[in-house]
Structure 1
Amino acid sequence: MRVGVIVDVEPGIHGGVATAVKSLIRALGSLGGPETYILIINNQAQADWLSPLAANQVFAMRPPRQTSLLQRGVRKIARSSLKLAGVEMGTVWPETPLSDGFVESLGLDVVHFTTQGFALCAVPTVYNPHDLQHIHYPQFFTAQDLAWREVVYRTACRLSRAIIVNSQWIKDDVVAQFAVPPDRVQVIPEAAPSHFLQPAGEAERRQTLEKFGLTEAFALYPNNTWPHKNHARLLEGIAWLRDTKGMKIQLASTGARHQPSWPKLSAKVDELGLQDQVKFLGFVSDLELRALYQSARCVVVASLFEANSLPIFEAWAEGAPVASSNVTALPEQVGDAGLLFDPNEPEEIGKALERLFIDDTLCEDLKRKGKQRLSDFDWTRTARAYRAVYRRAAGRKLVDEDRAILAHDWMRNPLR
């Protein structure tokens, strides 16, 4: 069976989604079976990032898109007509794109759209919407983004043979918002990607801390500064802890500085007088990320909306205690292996951090519970579940292992 995997992400740009896609591809490569995975990429940088491939995987690079003289002429006339009519191009209602024929040319039995992008094609499709944040927090999106997501997400969910989500909370949301049959939405939890990364030793940890000037105990928040990651409330919680309890803790945050929101966030640091407590490190190497996890006093995830949190998985894998928001799918994921707080209340965030910075017994207990909770997840099991969905979507007969793995949600009901 030939399975197409659309790779529409790149490192350094797409954050946790890129990490999850790479982890899934690596895990699929470790499986046996008759499947061949055709990784559909757009450029050489993606090939370099995903290499080396397993024996059951090959690249298929999209050819450069070429626009004919006739197409350019038609588009120019259309833009002129719209302008004369007083309609801005950015306000035109989007449409779900049609396949350009490249996917069909690969002889695929099924194609998996691993990110929110989608195209109507003649091959059975599997779709990952990841989450429907735009419906719950429309203020974080432009009008054009909202229109695109409404059209593409809804079309993809209604037409795909299978929809994959990471948690029951997201499944319930997809079913409620898009009126799709529940049996077409498959819950497949993710896992910690850091076991694919280079291990960090004592020398690497020391060098990383020196590089970023982290000389004291610090909390780590490894997330891009997108608005829903809620860095502003986290900063307010750290300021509350300083002003109310006289406790100054350090925060290190990795990931891209999302430009539409970064200026306000930078101003927030200045407004709260946190310049000597907070460091935004930008993207770091895999080795540096592991070193930061292993060196942190705790990992905090203050997000307002998550399908699941890869940093929480990574924190457990690296032995760091976790404090997390108590919203959307995060309580399902965390269970009793972390402190939960209301991400809209800076005082609650501050109190959770205070406990983790002063209570060594609590930290050790959460590390132990985190290790146990982490054992409930692994990418090999995740990849087997994806493979079973591919087989079902392609009309192949499932084996007993496939049926068993699809019948069980190990996020909510761990196999212990």
Structure 2
Amino acid sequence: MRPLKIIIDAQMPGDGTAGGVQHFTASLVSALGRLPDGPEEYIIVGPRHGSDWLYPLLGPNQRLVTGPASLSGGVQCCRRLLGYLGLSLDRLYRGLQRAVNRPLFSPRVRQSSGFYESLGGNIIHFPHQQFVATGLPAIYNPHDLQHLHYPEFFTKHELAQLDVTYRVACETSASVAAASMAVKEDVSTSLHINPDKIQVIVLGPPTELYQSIDQEDLLRTGNKFRLPDSFVLYPAQTWPHKNHLRLLEAIALLKSKHGLVIRLICTGNKNFYWPTIEAAIRTLELSDQVSFPGFVSTNELQALYRLARFVVFPSLFEAGGFPVIEALRAGAPLACSDIAPLREYAGQAALFMDARSAESIADAMVALTTDHTLRSSLREKGHEWARRFTWSATARAYRALYRKAAGKELDDDDLGYLHRNGMGPEPEAQAGGAP
């Protein structure tokens, strides 16, 4: 019997600009390649230019091909060139869109030219928000519907394109994958998609798949970023919904109201919104308290989690929130937004706050700064709770979903992973599956 061949479209840059979507895609490819059983083969489609970041992730059952030349390749070249000049293509383009105040192009869903079908796969998975209509059964990850809840963070063109893409992709795909029950309910309600078509698959922390660090890594990271003895970490790209502005207001409030000077380290790619954040730092006079080192290596990120007094995650909108489970796994006390997906991923192991209120964020930071008992309690709860999230379980669930989409018969282990819609014990304990 011929093995099932799955195409995974990973056409995105490996420089951190894709944010959590890149971490998700990289972790999924790596975890699927590490599964010790199963006859499946995976065809990973990387970008025409800059696919090198995918090679170290590949397992023995995976091969990498590059996608067809397209406008996106030219866009990446322009982005790199403008970066050398200290300019941002995204900022220039978004500025033009807002000035015109209407979509620059008619929104549409791309049609396959035959490239994907020529690869010999049985199904195709789009682990990012882009979608191409092909002749193959598709798995689609919309990740979240932020554009419907916070349209002010998008241009008119982006809103129009996202609306068309998400609706067509969710309606025509064999299955829609969601990282949380909150996302499933939102997609079902907002896009009128049959909930039976939406499969919740809980994600593991990307840091689980990274090379372990040692004391030398901690020392190198501390020296490189000149870390103070006590600092707070916020790992997030500078998207508007990541809420850096309100976090900065909370930092300023702590100093003026409580006399509490907190050092904040914010990692993540600096995108088009960075100049707005930079201006707020100057206005609030926080230059000596706040540092934005940009995109950091996997070793440096792990070290920062380990060295931080606590992690703060005040995002306004999330599908699941990798930093939440990464912080818990690293043993870092966590304060995060009180929103449904983060409630699912953090359980009782975090201090929740109203991310729309600088006062609420400040109060949470005061509590975690001054209350050693609270930090110890959250650290202990976090370690235990984080054991529920593994990429082995995530990969097995996606493999079961691939088999289902291809019309394959599912065994008890497959059904066990697909039935894990909540944050309960892993299916190994329920169905007797291999780890």
Q: TM-score, normalised by structure 1?
A: 0.91
1:139-159, Cα deviation, whole Å (9 max, x unpaired): 101111111100011000000
Q: By how many angstroms is 1:49 displaced?
A: 3.6
Q: By how many angstroms is 1:59 displaced?
A: 1.1
Equivalent AA in structure 2 for residue 45 of structure 1: G
Aligned: 1:306 with 2:311: no
Aligned: 1:208 with 2:221: yes
8 A Cα contact 1:305 1:328, kept in partner: no
Aligned: 1:366 with 2:369: no
Distance 1:147 1:110 in 2: 28
Q: Pick from 5, 10, 14: which aligns with 2:8?
A: 5
Aligned: 1:131 with 2:144: yes
Q: Pick from 146, 156, 159: which aligns with 2:172?
A: 159
Q: Pick from 253, 260, 272: which aligns with 1:247?
A: 260
**Alignment match, 1:100:** 113
Q: By how many angstroms is 1:43 displaced?
A: 3.2
Larger Rg: 1
Distance 2:277 2:394 in 1: 36
Q: Pick from 107, 124, 128: which aligns with 1:111?
A: 124
Secondary structure, aligned partner of 1:329: helix
8 A Cα contact 2:48 2:69, kept in partner: no
Aligned: 1:318 with 2:321: no
Segments of 4+ in structure 1 off by > 3 A?
47-50, 87-92, 413-416
Aligned: 1:173 with 2:186: yes
Once the two structures are overlaid, the 10-residue window that deviates more, 9-18 or 388-397, is 9-18
Equivalent AA in structure 2 for residue 406 of structure 1: L
Distance 2:332 2:13 in 1: 27
Secondary structure, aligned partner of 1:315: helix
1:325-373, Cα deviation, whole Å (9 max, x unpaired): 0024111111110000000111110111111111111111111111111
Distance 1:216 1:308 in 2: 30
Q: By how many angstroms is 1:238 displaced?
A: 1.0
Extract unaligned runs of 5+ from structure 1.
67-86
1:145-200, Cα deviation, whole Å (9 max, x unpaired): 11110001100000001000000000000000111111100000111111222222
**Alignment match, 2:25:** 21
Equivalent AA in structure 2 for residue 2 of structure 1: K
Backbone CA RMSD of aligned residues: 1.7
Distance 1:50 1:222 in 2: 25
**Alignment match, 2:88:** none
Q: By how many angstroms is 1:217 displaced?
A: 0.5
Distance 1:339 1:178 in 2: 32
Aligned: 1:33 with 2:29: no
Distance 1:51 1:201 in 2: 21
Written as runs of structure 1 = structure 2, the 5 A alignment for 1:358-397 is 358-397=370-409
Extract unaligned runs of 5+ from structure 2.
72-99, 430-435
8 A Cα contact 1:216 1:250, kept in partner: no
Once the two structures are overlaid, the 10-residue window that deviates more, 50-59 or 329-338, is 50-59
Equivalent AA in structure 1 for residue 418 of structure 2: L
Using the aligned pairs only, state the percent identity: 42
Distance 2:70 2:23 in 1: 27
